[in-house]
Copies of this chain bind each other. A is one copy, B any other.
């Protein structure tokens, strides 16, 4: 415990009616490392201002646009230490660019960008500026996901053979024209070329690589749109080939009636296997060949440093989505502080998803779309 000042956080997007903006704010607050200081919350300047005032921000830091905010903040002595970008997808890259160019570290929602070109340009910009860039693939903040990664990298599973991931929701089972969340997600100009693919399959894709450390080489995809009138896929079936011969599969659906936020990942090695589900995130099932399966539980003895560091409460006191998301913010705080202090960050904070994860995610989206258009032909990521 130390009396460090809280870092100052700006926010782009996340205004009225935006689910994820409130999540970012709660997550940033949870570990007391960040303080919301400025924002351009909505595309309408007046609405943005009103929203910021209601959050208790001073009027001068309720900005009409991210462009104005990036400039204005850069000129302040008490400028924001980082910006969180939680606007619709098409805003991610331009907003990130504006803040990076102004010298501000970025915490950005996924997918990183709509096109491969802007994703790669952004990666180049991050490299050039040397600024911290964190992508909120928040599910990688769960302690038992980090334990899973630790188990694979420590060799407990042996050589990985099969990765089975799925991410099932049902909120788009019917047309949702009047739902703000659904509107932009259904519009290729704002969401990019993937529907369920970009919105949720990318999370699963990231977790597969995060946990296994394997690089996906090729995908064979079948994207389907079930709800009439919808312009993007609402169901994605994707087979994966990994570098070393492992095989994978991702099923993502937003028309899976009965599913709320059913992200699950199973990893099978030649010596052991893992099973983790986001809706019961406190447990990680580990099965070693010829032995009784064990249920590892967050907060209990014997877990890795990576898992222990991402935990706040004793076992049996359920942590959940916010704590996992908050972990990304705590990692970000460490990465930003280390950058300020010209020191290397805690290596465990570097588990937070980075710009290169973002680029891989965008490539995955584009390869899957291309494969699906070509009769599920195997396509390089």
Chain A interface residues toward B at CB < 8 A: 1-3, 5-6, 16, 19, 22-23, 25-26, 29-32, 51, 53-56, 161-162, 164, 166, 169-171, 173-174, 220, 222, 224, 226, 235, 237, 239, 241, 247, 249, 251, 253, 255-262, 266, 268-273, 275, 278-282, 285-297, 299-302, 312-323, 375-378
Partner of A19, one of B173, B224, B273, B314: B314
Interchain CB contact under 8 A, A318 and B279: yes
- Chain B proximity of A226: nearest CB distance (Å): 5
CB distance from A11 to the nearest CB of B (A): 14
In the bound complex, residues from chain B placing their C-beta under 8 Å from that of A171 are 314
Q: Is the CB of B258 within 8 A of A273?
A: yes
Cβ–Cβ < 8 Å partners of A166 in chain B: 164
Is A30 a contact of B26 with CB atoms below 8 Å?
Answer: yes
A-B contact pairs, 30 of them (CB 8 A): A1-B16, A2-B54, A19-B314, A26-B312, A29-B30, A29-B32, A162-B256, A164-B166, A164-B251, A174-B289, A222-B239, A222-B241, A226-B270, A235-B247, A257-B271, A258-B293, A259-B287, A261-B314, A261-B317, A279-B318, A280-B280, A290-B302, A291-B302, A292-B296, A293-B295, A312-B322, A317-B321, A318-B320, A322-B323, A376-B376
A224–B55 alpha-carbon span in the complex (Å): 52
A353 to chain B, nearest CB (A): 18
> Contact: B289 with A3, CB < 8 Å?
no
Please determine whether A237 and B247 come into contact, CB atoms closer than 8 angstroms: yes
Task: Report chain B residues within 8 Å CB of A375.
Answer: 377-378
Q: Which residues of B contact A23 (CB under 8 A)?
A: 313
Dominant SS among interface residues on chain A: loop
**A30 CB contacts on chain B under 8 angstroms:** 26, 29-30, 322
In Å, the complex CA distance between A287 and B260 comes to: 11
How many Å lie between the Cα of A224 and that of B224 in the bound state? 26
Q: Please give, as numbers and ranges, the residues of chain B lying within 8 Å of A169 by CB-CB distance.
A: 316
Neighbouring B residues of A269 by C-beta, 8 Å:
257
A323 CB contact (under 8 Å) in B222, B272, B320 = B320
**A376 touching B54 in the complex, CB below 8 Å, given contacts A292-B296, A316-B262:** no
Which of B220, B224, B270, B289 interacts with A247 by CB under 8 Å? B224
**Least Cβ–Cβ distance between A320 and chain B, in angstroms:** 3
Chain B residues closer than 8 Å to A26, beta-carbon distance: 30-31, 312
A261 touches B316 (CB 8 A): yes
Contacts of A323 in B (CB 8 A): 320, 322
